[in-house]
A and B are shown apart, each in its own frame.
Chain A
């Protein structure tokens, strides 16, 4: 069974139709990349999948392991295993990153019918995962994303992803605002999470990220639809030729 299956999805934001019949199937273990020009609806797709308010689905379906995603609340989708790494992670003043992680992990575990992690187990797990992403303990004591650099924010997103053990990870322009070293740390973090029961949807403008996170399938999105699908070589072609030919094809 497909992990994520999106069929003929239509969605709009404030009367403006952005997704216009999008189809996408991701099987367990696969890494898909979506590339496309600004305004093609890539971020909208990630928000619609995650269930953000103001994004109204007007047609089509989206299922995770056969279960209707669109009927669920955002936190229920998270508990089912959908994770969205935000393009612009949100700041939460006064809430230590560690507290946030712990609250999130336990909330998800509770909804999945698992026991809460004990404090020592939790700390051990955080230390291990944080170390892999070069996140020091000091950063975990600071309020969530407040005063974080671009690289710190994105590494923090990947840390949350690693802690929550999702099945389907959507990365919305995780490469934006990263220098080369930070990009490599983040990409390595993602690659470590690749597993045969886990799928990834990597949204990006640039082929650069896909040199590090090598996708199985590359899609080109334009005007709310997927207009072309190919292998990793498609990303290189786009890098060379640009999106010009696709704006009209849609």
Chain B
């Protein structure tokens, strides 16, 4: 599934937000074409995979106009024996002077049988482009879960709490009602992922 947004006007802006709990196999890349000068694109994503799911999701930011900027914050959570991939393209056209992108891509592993992958495609045809890419991968540690459980949370509550902390940067960008739903969705998606 791929949606594309086209920022045509001067200073126009498109912001994508997704909370992806997905089907068995998910390919999904909501994208922005930054055609207008000074236009902005944003992509905030939480992608959770559990069981045998395979998620391959991300975005495309295509910088065509002048002084365009884009921002990508992606949080991937893999549990069970699932595979979770972030795949994103950031490109600057020849005429796209002063294109800017910041990408932050964090992955969280639950258990030792799942995988998280990050595949950025970065292409700058204009030498004034400034593209940044940050990525981290971490694992929910047993120490963290034990600490939560010593305070009275059961195993699933502990995982949900830690994961909600992990995705906080993205949850902040959701409308309040949706953020509350999303938190619950995360807890449900991860049921049975530990212990």
Q: What's the Cα separation between A75 and B151 when bound, in Å?
A: 7
Residues of A within 8 A of B153 (CB): 75, 103-104, 107
Task: Tell me whether A108 and B152 are in contact (CB under 8 A).
Answer: yes
Q: Does B133 contact A (CB under 8 A)?
A: no
The answer for the CA separation of A92 and B153 in the assembled complex, in Å, is 14
Q: Contact between A78 and B152 (Cβ–Cβ < 8 Å)? A: yes
9-residue interface stretch from A27-35, A83-91, A123-131, A186-194: A83-91
Q: Report the count of interface residues on B (CB-CB < 8 A).
A: 24
Q: Are A92's CB and B165's CB within 8 A?
A: yes
| B135 smallest CB distance to A (angstroms) | 16
For this complex, 12 residue pairs linking A to B, each with C-beta atoms less than 8 Å apart, are A50-B146, A52-B146, A74-B146, A75-B149, A75-B152, A75-B154, A90-B143, A92-B161, A95-B162, A103-B153, A108-B151, A164-B152
B167 proximal to A (CB < 8 A): yes
Contact check, B164 vs A94: say whether CB atoms are below 8 A apart: yes
For the complex formed, measure the closest distance between the CB of B133 and the CB atoms of chain A, giving whole angstroms: 20
> What chain A residues lie within 8 Å of B24 (beta carbons)?
none
- The one of A73, A83, A90 that contacts B147, using a Cβ cutoff of 8 Å: A90
**In the assembled complex, A179 has its CB within 8 A of some CB on chain B:** no
A79:B164 contact, CB within 8 angstroms: no
What are the residues of chain A within 8 A of B161 when measuring CB–CB?
92, 95, 99-100, 103
User: Which residues on B sit within 8 Å (CB–CB) of A95?
Assistant: 161-162, 164-165, 168
Q: Assuming A78-B151, A79-B152, A89-B147, what are 12 further A-B pairs, CB within 8 angstroms?
A: A51-B149, A73-B155, A77-B150, A83-B150, A90-B141, A92-B148, A92-B165, A95-B165, A95-B168, A103-B157, A104-B151, A107-B157
Contact (A92, B152) CB under 8 Å given A103-B157, A107-B157:
no
Is A93 within 8 A of B166, CB to CB?
yes
What band does the interface of chain A fall in when counting residues whose beta carbon is under 8 Å from B?
A: 20 to 34
A111 within 8 A of B: yes
4 pairs of A and B residues whose beta carbons are closest in the complex: A94-B165, A95-B165, A108-B152, A104-B151
Contact with A along B124-147 (1 / 0, CB 8 A): 000000000000000001111011
Chain A 52-80, CB-CB to B under 8 Å as 1, else 0, gives: 11100000000000000000011101110
* A207 interfacial by beta-carbon distance below 8 Å: no
Separation of A95 and B150 alpha carbons in the complex (Å): 16
User: B25 → chain A, closest Cβ, in Å?
Assistant: 29
Question: Knowing A94-B166, A143-B165 touch, does A104 contact B152 (C-beta < 8 A)?
Answer: yes
Chain A residues engaging chain B, CB cutoff 8 angstroms: 50-54, 73-75, 77-79, 83-84, 86, 89-90, 92-95, 99-100, 103-105, 107-108, 111, 143, 160, 164
Task: Choose among B141, B148, B152, B161 the residue with the greatest number of A CB atoms under 10 Å from its CB.
Answer: B152
Residues of B bordering A, CB below 8 Å: 141-144, 146-155, 157-158, 161-162, 164-169
Residues of B within 8 Å of A164, CB to CB, are 151-152
Interface residue from A84, A86, A90, A107 paired with B154 (Cβ < 8 Å): A107
Shortest Cβ distance from A184 into chain B, in angstroms?
Answer: 25
Q: Which residue of B lies closest to A80 (CB)?
A: B152
B152 contacts A84, CB within 8 Å? no
Contacts of B151 in A (CB 8 A): 78, 100, 104, 107-108, 160, 164
Contacts of B147 in A (CB 8 A): 86, 89-90, 92
In the complex, the chain A residue whose C-beta lies closest to that of B149 is A74
Contact of A92 with B162 in the complex, beta carbons under 8 Å: yes
Q: Give the contacting residue for B152; candidates A52, A54, A89, A111; CB below 8 A.
A: A111
- Within the complex, the shortest CB–CB distance from B81 to chain A, in Å, comes to 21
A93 and B165 form a contact (CB under 8 A): yes
- Give Cα A104–Cα B166 distance, bound, in whole angstroms: 18
List the A side residues contacting B152 at CB < 8 Å. Answer: 75, 78-79, 104-105, 107-108, 111, 164
Contact A50 B165 (CB under 8 A): no
Is the CB–CB distance between A53 and B146 below 8 Å? yes
Measured CB to CB, the nearest residue on chain A to B143 is A90
With CB as the reference atom, state the residue of chain B lying closest to A54: B142
Chain A residues with CB under 8 Å of B164's CB are 94-95
Docked complex Cα distance between A4 and B8 (Å): 71
- In the complex, what distance in Å separates the CA atom of A206 from the CA atom of B158? 34
